[in-house]
Structures are given as structure tokens and as C-alpha cells.
A and B are shown apart, each in its own frame.
Chain A
Amino acid sequence: MSDKSMKAYWSRNLKYLLILLSIWFAVSYGAGILFVDQLNQIRIGGFKLGFWFAQQGSIYVFVVLIYVYVRLMNKLDKEYDVDEK
């Protein structure tokens, strides 16, 4: 692979990582810890929202994040022709 397309591939990868990890941080450290008291003012059914994020919601989002990453990267690999045959 040429240097130039390698650089482009890598910077796209880093961009994906940055976005996905920001969401990762926001749901766990943000909603589950730093802003838990504010979110606890909101209720969904029997849950206070902050508490729900800390003990349930963040975990669901983690799972989704990995699957989104797998899809994005499989597409990116094909686009730059570095996928595994």
C-alpha cells in the first residue's frame, strides 16, 4: 500500500476511534458518574435516569459501539483494499 493511502486509511481509523470513544466516555463517565445527580431528576418507569445509565444503559451502549466499529472498519478496509481475502 502506498504511503499516502496508508496515511489516509490510518487517519480515518483514528477519526472513528475518536468519535466512538467520545460516546463511550459520555455514557459511562458522563451520564453514569459526573452528571448522575442531574440525570437522576429524570425518571423512566421505576428507574432514575442517571442510576439506569450507571447500572444498565452504559453497558448496552458499549455492546452497540463494538458492533458499529466492526461494521465501519470492515467497510473501510474494503475501501482501501487492505481487507483479508
Chain B
Amino acid sequence: MDVQIWTFGIVGFTFALYIGIAIWSTASSTKDFYVAGGGVSPLANGMATAADWMSAASFISMAGLISFMGYDGAVYLMGWTGGYVLLALLLAPYLRKFGKFTVPDFIGDRYYSNVARTVAVICAIIVSFTYVAGQMRGVGVVFARFLEVPVETGVYIGMLIVLFYATLGGMKGVTYTQVAQYCILIFAFMVPAIFISFQLTGNVVPQLGFGGTLSDGTYLLDKLDGLHKELGFASYTEGSKPMIDVFCITLALMVGTAGLPHVIVRFFTVKNVRDARKSAGWALLLIAILYTTAPAISTFARTNLIQTVSGKEYSSMPEWFTNWERTGLIQFDDKNADGNIQYVADAEKNELTIDRDIMVLANPEIANLPNWVIALVAAGGLAAALSTAAGLLLVISASVSHDLIKKQIKPNISEKGELVWARIGSVIAVIVAGYFGINPPGFVAAVVALAFGLAAASFFPAIILGIFDKRMNKEGAVAGMVVGILLMLFYMMKYKLDLFGGGTQEDWWFGISPEGFGSVAMAVNFVISFAISRFYPAPPEDVQEMVENIRFPRGAGGATH
């Protein structure tokens, strides 16, 4: 059977599954809508968190990104997993004990101020929108390649599906679809990895094949380092970024992960504090399966690619090459007109440009795997993009219906009324996200990675200090959040969007890239919060008592208003 039919079949089946789950898990109360009723098991929540967390970027782009970055790719691997240690140890259990619906809820109550709450809502919306636009784009790209429809049509179909299950089921629908999506995406990621690992190194475990030997007896990584040297690229196992930047990017991604509202809110859905801790363990274990496989795929794909194309005749290229050439993601320009492909580091002589996003998607084709595997990868990419998009949309809708309308504008709104607003909020969020997916403004691609810096610079210090520093008051926290996020936005706009005089790499402060600057902005936030808070009175008695109370597990009830 050809790839098209397989793809329609598998993708169609997964979509039917998501819709089925949505109908089965319709939300009937705000508690269902915001925290899935609050009784999700640790394993189910771990799977949902993993799917929520692993976006189109993790599934589609990351392995490709690493295969072009070599060692430097470690910033993503460590950055996007190490954050869970912070989350499990410093945030999840305490926030679960606190027992409310959203992150701005915690900020608003802990800092006894609606100003703090509103600042948190704005931060949550900025972070979530920068992130969700990339997801909708990812859905469009997968559709465009595998179902040969225009990117726009792909985005519309994705919007419809998400709209259906997020609006109907709220957190409850999203949780159980995410469980299904985790299973699909991890299966789709592992199958080609195992095939290719076995083909190249004879080892079925990609994590071991990564350090294994090729058929000629040389180690895979040595072989790749050798190929890189021959073609003039930097050695694969050594980096080219300065150490301070690697350090700061890793830190910003870790802390940003722990501060992302759509991840934190997942821990409000479990029964109690013990389950919150346990489900953080499950989540990281399930994420680690993909994250330890990805760098192995990167080396397999890179080696395969170089061996297939380098110095070969253009006319002898396999079918996948022309398929991807048609999408414009592979470009060949025969500069010296010899009919062969020169793929080298020297930009003057290099004739081949490859979009890094296609490495995972094209991998099964490059390795000649059966058609059903190719179709499976398409379904996995869609599962990854849709699950993350849905989680983000819920954060946006809850920010509007719960943190703004219920908590500030109309405090005596009925349960039913709030639920209606939550649904309206999610519809609007889907439409805005879809708009950005279809018309991606140039800056979206540039800022998606920076959503982490924004989360690190705003939420993380406010939450940590709220738990670990009883003396922290609203003046300190608000000043910290405002200065942190503004500083991060300023640096981002200056070096990414060329505003405020712009600048190049040489002008970066301490040699730190915008991606890594979240670490600096976070440190500034901590210092400012701490300094300012000591000039103002300690928080009221009842708030201090609340802090005492979230520090031990007993008595955690269900999440309430």
C-alpha cells in the first residue's frame, strides 16, 4: 500500500480516537474543566504531562536540530528534562497542597493582591501565545507534507479537532486525549529509531547503538567525527558555542520548563501531594524515553544523510530527496555544474541546504523503512503538536474565565456562567492561535524558544519565593516579576527584532544569547524581589499561615475555587 493511504488511515484513526474520548469525557463543572475533576491517577497524569510537554518541536525539530548542532544540542536535552527535577522538588507538591486552579491563582492569593494576579495573568498569556503559534504551524507542516494539502488547510483541520475536544471536555477531555497522544507519539518515535539503530549498529536499543560500532568496526561517533572533519564541519562531539552561553541556555530552559503554566497546572489534577510527587517522576521517566533516543536518532540521521548525498551524483538521488525538494525544504544548487552534490561547511562551495525540521520526518524514508512507519511518524507528529496546543489553550481560557472574570470582574458569577466563559475563552484562543499558525509573523519563529526565558524571568522566582521565603511580600514579588519580564522582553526585542538600536552577536551582554538571557533576567528578578521586600512590611498573618500550611502534605483536599 502506498504512503498516502497508510497516512490517511492511521491519522484518521487517531483523530477518531481523540473525538471519541472528548465525547466520553465532557466536562460538567468548572472543576472538571480546569483540573479534570482532581482525581487523575499519577501514571495517567504522568503520561498527560509528557504529551502536554513534548511539543511539535520535541518530536519534529529537536533531533534534527541536534544533528546539526552536535554536542551543543545538549542544551535542549538537559534543559528540557532537568526542569522536571526543579518542578518535582521545588514546586509541584507545594502547589498541589495549595489546591487552586491556576498559576495566577497562587500568585494572587500568596501575594494577597489583584495587581500581582493580573501581572501573572499577562505573563501567562504572553508565554502561552508565543508557544502555541508554533504548534499550530507544526500541525500545518505535517499535513502539508504527508497529506499533500496546503499548510492552511492543515491548520484549519488541526484547529477543528482541538476546538472540539478542548472546548467540550476542558481539562478532563484534554487529559485523556493526552494519554492517548502520548502512547501514539512515543510509539511513532521509537519504531523508526529501533529500526535504524538495528540497521546501522546491529543494536536494537538506540541509546546503546548511539555508542555502538558500525559494520566496518569503527564506533559510530568516531565515524561521524571523521566525516565532519573531512567536510570541514566542527567535530560532532565537541561544541562550537561558548561555554557560558551553553550554561545559560541550559539554565533558562530548565527554569523556564518549571515555570511554564501549562505544565504546572497538570499537577493540580492529581488527588493529593504524594500523587503530585509521584506523577512528576512518571512524567520525567516517560519524557526521558524520547529525550535519550533523540540524540541517538540525530547521529544516525546525520551519518545516513552524509553517506547518502555527499559527493554523489544528483541524478542518482533516491525518491525521498526529490519529494522533499518539492516542498522546498531541501535545496540543491549545482554551483560547479559537475552534477555531483558537494555538501561541505564552506558556504561558497556548499551546494545543499537542508531544513533541520525534516530530519525526523524524512528519517524513515532515508533509511528505507516500510510505508506504515512513515505514516505512523506523521500521526505521531500531529499527536505531539495537538496535545501541546490543547494544554496551552486551556491555560489561556482559564486565565480569562477564572483569573480575570471570576476573580476580578464578576466575582459572583455562577458556576454555569463561569463554565460558559471558559468555553468562550477556549474558542477565542483557538481562533487566535490558528490565525498565527496560518500567518506566522516573522517574529513567532524567533520567539518560541524565548517563551522559556519569559517564564523563567517572571513566574519561577515569584513561585519559589512564595513557598520558601515566608517574609516575601507583594511589593517584592510584583517588582521582581515586572522587572524580570520587561528586561527579558527588552533583550529579546533588541537582539531578535532589531528594536532599541538592535545589535549583533558581538554586542551580547557577557556573550549570552537571547535564548540564554532568561537566566540573567531570572537572577535579576530574584535580587530585586528580595531587596524590595525588605523595605516593606511582612505579609499579613493569614498569608504566613498559608505558607506554613503548604509546606507539609496532610490535609490536601481537592482543588477548589
Docked CA distance A33–B73 (Å): 12
Docked CA distance A67–B84 (Å): 12
User: Would you list which residues of chain A between 35 and 85 have a CB under 8 Å from chain B?
Assistant: 36, 40, 44-48, 51-52, 54-56, 58-60, 62-63, 65-67, 69-70, 73-74, 77, 80-85
Give the contacting residue for A46; candidates B66, B212, B251, B291; CB below 8 A: B212
Asked if A66 and B281 sit within 8 Å, CB to CB, the answer is yes
Give the contacting residue for B82; candidates A9, A24, A81, A84; CB below 8 A: A24
Docked CA distance A67–B73 (Å): 26
Docked CA distance A41–B277 (Å): 38
B278 at the interface (CB under 8 A from A): yes
Residues of chain A contacted by B274 (CB below 8 angstroms): 74, 77, 83-84
Residues of chain A contacted by B89 (CB below 8 angstroms): 17, 20-21, 65-66, 69
- B284-301 CB mask vs A (1 if < 8 Å, else 0) is 110010011001000000
Give the contacting residue for A62; candidates B84, B219, B239, B552; CB below 8 A: B84
Residues of chain B contacted by A1 (CB below 8 angstroms): 552
Give the contacting residue for A17; candidates B78, B90, B552, B553; CB below 8 A: B90
Residues of chain B contacted by A9 (CB below 8 angstroms): 551-552
User: Would you list which residues of chain B between 440 and 482 have a CB under 8 Å from chain A?
Assistant: none
A4 to chain B, nearest CB (A): 13
Docked CA distance A72–B49 (Å): 23
Asked if B548 and A82 sit within 8 Å, CB to CB, the answer is no
Residues of chain A contacted by B88 (CB below 8 angstroms): 66, 69-70
Asked if A33 and B85 sit within 8 Å, CB to CB, the answer is no
Q: How many residues of A contact B (CB 8 A)?
A: 45
Tell me which of B242-250, B305-313, B325-333 binds A.
B242-250
Asked if B238 and A40 sit within 8 Å, CB to CB, the answer is yes
Residues of chain A contacted by B288 (CB below 8 angstroms): 59-60, 62-63
Residues of chain B contacted by A77 (CB below 8 angstroms): 274, 552-554
Given A21-B89, A33-B247, A77-B553, A54 and B277 contact (CB-CB distance below 8 Å) = no
Asked if B552 and A66 sit within 8 Å, CB to CB, the answer is no
B74 at the interface (CB under 8 A from A): yes
Docked CA distance A32–B251 (Å): 12
Docked CA distance A44–B548 (Å): 48
Given A10-B551, A62-B85, A67-B281, A44 and B292 contact (CB-CB distance below 8 Å) = no
Asked if A40 and B281 sit within 8 Å, CB to CB, the answer is no
User: Would you list which residues of chain B between 258 and 294 have a CB under 8 Å from chain A?
Assistant: 272-274, 277-278, 280-281, 284-285, 288, 291-292
Residues of chain A contacted by B210 (CB below 8 angstroms): 46-47, 56
Residues of chain B contacted by A60 (CB below 8 angstroms): 288, 292
- 9 closest Cβ pairs, A-B complex: A46-B219, A54-B74, A46-B211, A82-B552, A55-B295, A66-B281, A47-B211, A82-B554, A45-B211
> What are 16 A-B pairs with beta-carbon distances under 8 A?
A13-B551, A32-B78, A32-B250, A33-B74, A36-B71, A44-B211, A51-B237, A54-B78, A55-B295, A59-B288, A62-B284, A66-B88, A69-B89, A73-B93, A77-B553, A82-B552
Q: Which residues of B contact A (CB under 8 A)?
A: 66, 71, 73-74, 77-78, 81-82, 84-85, 88-90, 93, 207, 210-213, 219-222, 237-239, 243, 246-247, 250-251, 272-274, 277-278, 280-281, 284-285, 288, 291-292, 295, 548, 551-556
| Supplied contacts A28-B250, A66-B280, A84-B554, 8 more A-B pairs, CB within 8 Å | A24-B85, A28-B78, A44-B211, A47-B210, A55-B74, A63-B281, A77-B552, A77-B554
